[in-house]
């Protein structure tokens, strides 16, 4: 009965050509902010140090006995995820869910030492237990975690590490195999090659040549590169290299068919929406002229990076130092758990100069940036070393990826390279999908495939909810979900 009930609700989820059911879109203003006191170190008895963790609760659609949809916050102020994780809102409205968005320690208003991924997962586990008491939830209440990117990794790991607390997980664009120690080893060049592929042959060839000219000019005549690119200050060669190369991966991640500010806000470079198909937009500016002179290449490069650094065209010059994306908190996590390889500047990609981050290189970076040696391979030991064995032990997890997303090659792909997923584990691939496309609000420009992926995800989530509720049918018969009759549930029209 529950399955039939939920399937009828799926039919109310917006389809291709229809907007999200919300107008205006819900935000953190529609929720209530709460705080919970957490231990800084959950694994050392008697440490005594604590911090205040923020989380948002959105209870407009909540039905007693209904599920909890729990967003595992990642590396940003949690309001960003409250305001952008539209699928959680839409599905939550249809399923009578209590929505909870937890803030990652070290970000927003939840300031404390990062320590390790295990500490963060324990924060979320303690918060879930707290929610049962705070809202007097029946024990049959299913908790489903949601997460995007690194937050998607956390979402999946919550199900793997705390299956008694988390009934299932949606892990969108989650590169869980981008860690040293994983077997087979991740290909560090996959990210740069995917960006190159999405940009296309013409754009990539001109980008590589433009980057060569940018770096040559920065090295020989830094005053000239300041004036010719419209920079606010004279950069060092290292600053110029990072500034010139970093937009392209972000633009590929954010290559949605409609304007959106999710990726630039996550990266911390501003709240103004990028244009629709921003990588395409940048490539159009870069390839508008076929002139290969240095002046033309520098001019077209300056125009192309406007798509990332100055999409409103209101800045008079580029602030190279300020616009570099450097997250010291996340660097700590790379050193403690999540370090992985990265390579660019090969014959297979559009980037310049050559860069290679192997385990030794990461260790040197960690000693410089955080004052400690890197724990190479620690994440693989903690969360899964051999891909085939890791996936074989999973249950109730959706690992979704957009095929345009440069991180896609580091995620779970059922059926690839001997990976045999259990029946309750799926890895839907979204053609022309970008980074976490399935977690955004529905949009009239969504593809039919994306709409169908969301329906598939909904079906799996409903089966997890049903399984949890039916386990408690004899001891909690008063739960309305056990009968499939949910009064006062508002569904999308």
Confidence (pLDDT) at 178:
98
Within 13 Å and on the Cβ side, how many CA atoms surround 233? 11
Bond into 24 cis (ω within 30): yes
Q: Please, which residues bridge with residue 53 across strands?
A: 36
For residue 220, count other CB atoms closer than 10 A to its CB.
9
Domain boundaries, the chain: 2-179+384-483, 185-376
Helices and strands, counts by H and E, the chain: 19, 11
Confidence (pLDDT) at 480:
67
CATH number of 2-179+384-483: 3.40.50.1820
Task: Give DSSP secondary structure letters for 329-356.
Answer: HHHHHIIIII---EEESSTTSS--S-EE
Residues whose CB falls within 8 Å of the CB of residue 188, separated by 6 or more in sequence, listed in order: 340, 341, 342, 343, 356, 357, 358
The mean pLDDT values, 10 residues at a time, for the chain of 493 residues are 41 49 94 98 91 98 95 96 97 97 97 94 98 96 98 98 98 98 97 98 98 97 96 95 96 96 87 93 96 97 95 90 84 96 97 96 95 96 95 98 97 93 97 97 96 96 95 79 51 34
Strands 397-402 and 425-426: parallel
Nearest to 363 by CA among 350, 351, 372: 372
Strands 98-102 and 68-72: parallel
- pLDDT tens digits for range 307-324: 999 988 888 999 998 888
CA distance 104 to 149: 13
Residues whose CB falls within 8 Å of the CB of residue 25, separated by 6 or more in sequence, listed in order: 83, 86, 441
CA distance 250 to 309: 11
- pLDDT tens digits for range 42-84: 999 888 899 999 999 999 999 988 999 999 999 999 999 999 9
**Residue 65 region by backbone torsions, left for phi larger than 0, else alpha for psi between -120 and 50, else beta:** left
CA distance 250 to 240: 17
| Topology given in CATH for the domain delimited by 185-376 | 1.20.120
Distances (CA, A) of 114 to 222, 226, 328, 412: 38, 37, 10, 26
Q: What is the pTM of this model?
A: 0.94
């Amino acid at each position: 009965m529950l399955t039939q009930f939920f399937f009828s609700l799926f039919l109310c989820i917006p389809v291709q050509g229809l907007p999200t059911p919300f107008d205006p879109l819900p935000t953190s203003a529609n929720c209530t902010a709460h705080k919970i006191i957490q231990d800084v170190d959950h694994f050392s008895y008697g440490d005594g140090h604590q911090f205040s963790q923020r989380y948002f609760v959105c209870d407009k659609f909540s039905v007693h006995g209904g599920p909890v949809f729990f967003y595992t916050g990642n590396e940003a102020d949690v309001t960003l995820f409250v305001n952008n994780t539209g699928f959680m809102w839409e599905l939550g409205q249809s399923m009578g869910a209590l929505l909870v968005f937890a803030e990652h320690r070290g970000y927003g208003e939840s300031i404390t030492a990062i320590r390790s991924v295990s500490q963060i997962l324990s924060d979320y586990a303690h918060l879930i237990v707290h929610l049962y008491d705070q809202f007097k939830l029946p024990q049959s209440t299913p908790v489903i975690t949601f997460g995007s990117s690194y937050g998607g990794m956390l979402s999946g790991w919550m199900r793997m590490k705390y299956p008694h607390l988390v009934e299932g997980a949606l892990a969108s664009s989650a590169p869980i195999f981008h860690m040293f120690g994983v077997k087979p080893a991740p290909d560090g060049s996959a990210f740069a090659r995917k960006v190159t592929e999405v940009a296309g042959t013409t754009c990539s060839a001109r980008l590589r040549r433009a980057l060569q000219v940018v770096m040559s000019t920065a090295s020989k005549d830094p005053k000239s590169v300041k004036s010719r690119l419209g920079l606010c200050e004279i950069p060092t060669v290292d600053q110029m290299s990072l500034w010139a190369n970093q937009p392209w991966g972000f633009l590929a991640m954010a290559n949605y068919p409609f304007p959106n500010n999710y990726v630039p806000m996550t990266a911390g470079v501003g709240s103004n929406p990028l244009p629709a198909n921003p990588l395409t937009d940048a490539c159009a500016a870069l390839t508008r002229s076929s002139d290969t002179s240095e002046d033309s290449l520098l001019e077209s490069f300056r125009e192309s990076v406007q798509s990332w650094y100055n999409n409103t065209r209101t800045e008079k010059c580029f602030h190279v130092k300020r616009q570099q994306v450097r997250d010291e908190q996340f660097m700590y996590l790379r050193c403690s758990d999540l370090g992985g390889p990265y390579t660019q500047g090969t014959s297979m990609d559009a980037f310049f100069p050559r860069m290679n981050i192997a385990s030794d290189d990461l260790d040197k970076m960690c000693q410089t940036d955080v004052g400690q040696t890197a724990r190479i391979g620690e994440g693989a030991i903690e969360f899964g070393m051999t891909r085939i064995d890791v996936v074989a032990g999973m249950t109730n997890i959706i690992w979704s990826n957009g095929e345009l997303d440069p991180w896609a090659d580091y995620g779970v792909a059922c059926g690839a390279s001997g990976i045999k997923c259990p029946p309750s584990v799926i890895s839907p691939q979204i053609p022309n999908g970008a980074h976490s496309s399935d977690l955004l609000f529905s949009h009239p420009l969504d593809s039919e495939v994306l709409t169908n992926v969301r329906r598939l995800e909904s079906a799996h989530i409903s089966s997890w909810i049903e399984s949890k509720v039916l386990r408690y049918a004899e001891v909690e018969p008063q739960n309305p979900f056990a009968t499939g009759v949910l009064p006062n549930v508002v569904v999308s029209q």
